Structure 1
Amino acid sequence: MELNEIVITRAIIDRYYEKLISSLENDVAIVGGGPSGLVAGYYLAKAGKKVVMYERKLSIGGGMWGGGMMFNEIVVQEAAIHILEEFGVCIKKYQDGYYTADSVEAISTLTSKSVQAGLGIFNCMSVEDVIMRTDRVTGLVLNWSAVEMSGLHIDPLAVRADFIIDATGHATEVVKVVHKKVPGQLQTSTGKIEGEKSMWSDKAETLTLENTREVFPGLYVAGMAANATFGGPRMGPIFGGMLLSGEKVAKDLLERI
């Protein structure tokens, strides 16, 4: 069989169009493709919910790819290893309470298993705005990341979701959009984004879970975005809290959807 470039092109366009159209209305939309977002997407999709993820970069995985300072190993505390075990990631005990995993295996496996569970992922897309109805977030306004980076004036498109998860890490991209639209109305102690504090791994891992919650009607925060929103410290290259945060936000949302 002689390969036809037009058939190849048509196949890509047709299949992408099908995927895009089927993702315009969702139970949950996740912004940010790091470990907390992927774990949340996995559990939600596994439970039969319609879930879609948008990642501004070409690659999925966030900071987990690089481990610590590009030493591609990650540390996970004992409380979170059940999540990596469920995904089938190889874990090695380092000493009591500390476990390690290959960061490339970990994040690629999280990505693959999440997609296989039914999570729809769109990379190279950025959130430009949110859709709000009666002081509640009901959807996202999207554009290509390349459009945003080049500063071109091109109107975006929109998707609807019953709930949004901001899992964009330090950037808190969706929370910042909401705060700009309705200043002082976030469900934090000051009504504003508190901002992340300096590294304190032990406290950060605990606060990541505590801060994983709804910050504005319809909008949840998870992972490092939770700490950055509520003023928790950064945790560095230990990822148990990120995994547990994704698990927690999925459980919380499954009780509401």
Structure 2
Amino acid sequence: MAELNEIIITRAIIDRYHAKITGNLDVDVAIVGAGPSGLVAGYHLAQKGYRVTIFERKLSVGGGIWGGGMLFNEIVVQDEARRILEEFGVRVNRYEENYYTADAIETVSLLAARAIQKGVTILNGITVEDVVMRPNRVIGLVILWSAVEIAGLHVDPLAIRAKYIVDATGHDTEVVKVVHKKVPGRLMTPTGNIEGEKSMWSEEAEKLTLENTREVFPGLFVAGMAANATFGGPRMGPIFGGMLLSGEKVAHLIDERLKQGS
């Protein structure tokens, strides 16, 4: 076996990561949250040739999929969403009419792998703590290492620029909360505020997840559970079809905007 040099190992990591992050400082679309909607959105946008970066505050990607329902690591999707999992190569099993199951671990692994292979860059361990704003529009994100945030250290963040931002942070609506705090009452919701997530109602939640996937502030879209939490829809539990379809929809909406040059 050839001799290994620890300094070369260290230099390789620093050099490659430096190239990765500096190549993603000015992108077409920045997605916050590498859950199901974020990964599907990134995949479809990258497939169309756009430069896409996903920022994930945790070390692991996949959002709520990993644990399935109460750590039973199976997920359920309805018939309309089955084709999305199959497009990613996930094996789907029919349970009964309109109910299909998939292994949670296989689902996350393939969603992430296929997105990366299409050209998406996923930067994990990074928290989005603010947005870059110009008059009446979000144009970027303010980022910090998650470990720095957790430790409570006084460290200034850095910034990235994007033509469009997607908040796919789930129940937390992290980016929408920042915008609402800085410019209260200006969200494109019925009251101008975050409407808040309602209690579980799977059928209604799956429908509204898709309906609520839209622009919520100029330059900022919401997808997945963040869409329902922003616009006041209920939670759905461990059925993930709506979130997969939401990722597909937000990619289509942003693609249309980018094509128009708006």
TM-score, L = length of structure 1: 1.00
What amino acid does structure 2 have at the position aligned with 1:224? M
What amino acid does structure 2 have at the position aligned with 1:196? E
| 1:1-257 aligned within 5 A | 1-257=2-258
CA-to-partner distance for each residue in 1:95-135, whole Å, 9 max, x for gaps?
00000000000011100100000000000000111001111
- Give SS of 1:127's match: strand
1:245: Cα distance to partner?
0.1
Following the alignment from structure 1 to structure 2, what is the Cα–Cα distance between the partners of residues 3 and 151? 36
Following the alignment from structure 1 to structure 2, what is the Cα–Cα distance between the partners of residues 240 and 124? 27
1:150: Cα distance to partner?
1.0
Following the alignment from structure 2 to structure 1, what is the Cα–Cα distance between the partners of residues 61 and 107? 12
CA-to-partner distance for each residue in 1:46-96, whole Å, 9 max, x for gaps?
110000000000100100000000000000000001101110000000000
CA-to-partner distance for each residue in 1:190-216, whole Å, 9 max, x for gaps?
000000000000000000000000000
Following the alignment from structure 1 to structure 2, what is the Cα–Cα distance between the partners of residues 144 and 70? 28
Following the alignment from structure 2 to structure 1, what is the Cα–Cα distance between the partners of residues 61 and 85? 17
- Give SS of 2:257's match: coil
Following the alignment from structure 2 to structure 1, what is the Cα–Cα distance between the partners of residues 36 and 109? 10
CA-to-partner distance for each residue in 1:203-246, whole Å, 9 max, x for gaps?
00000000000000000000000000000000000000000000
Following the alignment from structure 1 to structure 2, what is the Cα–Cα distance between the partners of residues 45 and 66? 27
Following the alignment from structure 2 to structure 1, what is the Cα–Cα distance between the partners of residues 185 and 22? 35
Following the alignment from structure 1 to structure 2, what is the Cα–Cα distance between the partners of residues 15 and 100? 38
What amino acid does structure 2 have at the position aligned with 1:186? L
What amino acid does structure 2 have at the position aligned with 1:231? G
- Give SS of 1:247's match: helix
Following the alignment from structure 1 to structure 2, what is the Cα–Cα distance between the partners of residues 100 and 226? 24
User: What CA RMSD, in Å, does the superposition of the two structures yield over aligned residues?
Assistant: 0.4
- Give SS of 2:141's match: strand
- Give SS of 1:74's match: strand
Following the alignment from structure 1 to structure 2, what is the Cα–Cα distance between the partners of residues 148 and 175? 19
Following the alignment from structure 1 to structure 2, what is the Cα–Cα distance between the partners of residues 234 and 34? 15
Following the alignment from structure 1 to structure 2, what is the Cα–Cα distance between the partners of residues 243 and 38? 9
- Give SS of 2:165's match: strand
Length, aligned pairs only: 257
Query: Runs ≥4 in structure 1, deviation > 4 angstroms?
Result: none
What amino acid does structure 1 have at the position aligned with 2:109? S
- Give SS of 1:66's match: coil
Following the alignment from structure 1 to structure 2, what is the Cα–Cα distance between the partners of residues 8 and 150? 27
User: What is the identity percentage for the equivalent residue pairs of Structure 1 and Structure 2?
Assistant: 70
1:187: Cα distance to partner?
0.3
**Consecutive unaligned residues in structure 2, runs of 5 or more:** none
What amino acid does structure 2 have at the position aligned with 1:252? L
Following the alignment from structure 1 to structure 2, what is the Cα–Cα distance between the partners of residues 33 and 14? 24
- Give SS of 1:256's match: helix
TM-score, L = length of structure 2: 0.98
Following the alignment from structure 1 to structure 2, what is the Cα–Cα distance between the partners of residues 253 and 85? 23
